[in-house]
Structure 1
Amino acid sequence: MAEAAFHLICGSTGAGKSTYAQTLAHDLGGLHFAIDQWMVTLFWQDSPQPIEFDWTMARIDRCEAMIFETAKQAVSIGVPVILDLGFTKAAHRQKFADLAKQANAPVILHVLDVPVDTRWARVQARNATKGETYAMEVDRSMFDFVETMWELPDPAEMAALNGRFVGA
Structure 2
Amino acid sequence: MSKIHIVFGPQGAGKSTYSKKLADEVKGIHLGIDNWMWKLYGDDLPKSMNLKWIMERVERCEKLIWELSEDISNRGCDVILDLGFTKQEKRKLFKQLAEENGKEIQLHYVSAKHPIRRKRVLDRNVNRGKTFSFEVTPGMFDFMEGEFHKPTESELMNAVIIDTNPKE
Normalising to structure 1: TM-score of the pair?
0.94
Residue of structure 2 aligned with 1:83, choices 81, 103, 106: 81
Residue of structure 1 aligned with 2:160, choices 140, 154, 164: 164
Instruction: Report the equivalent of 2:140.
Output: 142
What residue identity is the alignment partner of 1:112?
V
What root-mean-square deviation, in Å, do the aligned CA atoms of Structure 1 and Structure 2 show?
1.0
Unaligned runs of 5+ in 1: none
Are residues 1:51 and 2:72 paired?
A: no
SS state at 1:112 partner: strand
Give the distance between the partners of 2:21 and 2:14, measured in 1 at CA. 11
Instruction: Report the equivalent of 1:124.
Output: 122
Instruction: Report the equivalent of 1:110.
Output: 108
SS state at 2:6 partner: strand
Give the distance between the partners of 1:21 and 1:156, measured in 2 at CA. 22
Give the distance between the partners of 1:114 and 1:167, measured in 2 at CA. 6
What residue identity is the alignment partner of 2:163?
G
Give the distance between the partners of 1:167 and 1:5, measured in 2 at CA. 22
Shift of residue 103, structure 1, vs aligned partner? 1.5
Give the distance between the partners of 2:2 and 2:163, measured in 1 at CA. 23
Give the distance between the partners of 1:36 and 1:45, measured in 2 at CA. 14
Give the distance between the partners of 1:157 and 1:167, measured in 2 at CA. 16
Instruction: Report the equivalent of 1:4.
Output: 2
Give the distance between the partners of 2:59 and 2:22, measured in 1 at CA. 24
SS state at 1:68 partner: helix
Give the distance between the partners of 2:67 and 2:109, measured in 1 at CA. 24
Unaligned runs of 5+ in 2: none
| Aligned residue pairs, count | 164
Residue of structure 2 aligned with 1:73, choices 47, 59, 71: 71
Give the distance between the partners of 2:37 and 2:14, measured in 1 at CA. 19
Instruction: Report the equivalent of 1:34.
Output: 32
Shift of residue 167, structure 1, vs aligned partner? 3.1
Give the distance between the partners of 1:11 and 1:126, measured in 2 at CA. 17
Q: Provide, for residues 84-131 of structure 1, a one-character-per-residue CA deviation record: whole Å limited to 9, x for no partner.
A: 000111111001001101211011110012100000111111111000
Give the distance between the partners of 1:150 and 1:46, measured in 2 at CA. 25
